Amino acid sequence: MNQPEENDPIDVLLREQNTHVENNGFTTRVLAALPPRRRMWLRPVVLLGAAAIGSALASRWLPWENLSPFDLAALPSLNSQVLLPWLLVLSVAASLAWAVTAAVQGED
Tally Cβ neighbours within 10 Å of residue 28: 10
Cα separation, 75 vs 14, whole angstroms: 80
Question: x-or-dash pattern for other proteins, window 12-31, by CB under 8 A?
Answer: xxxxxxxxxxxx--xx-xxx
Question: Minimal distance in Å, beta carbon 44 to other proteins?
Answer: 12
CA 19 to chain centre: 43
Cα separation, 98 vs 19, whole angstroms: 54
Question: Minimal distance in Å, beta carbon 19 to other proteins?
Answer: 8
Question: Minimal distance in Å, beta carbon 22 to other proteins?
Answer: 8
When binding is defined by CB under 8 A, the residue of 6, 9, 76, 78 that contacts other proteins is 9
Eight-state DSSP code of residue 39 = -
Q: Does 6 bind other proteins (CB under 8 A)?
A: no
Cα separation, 72 vs 74, whole angstroms: 5
Identity of the residue, 13 or 84, whose beta carbon is nearer to other proteins in the bound complex = 13
What is the chain's Cα-based Rg? 31
Residues binding other proteins (CB under 8 A): 1-2, 4, 8-23, 26-27, 29-31, 33-35, 37-38, 40, 106
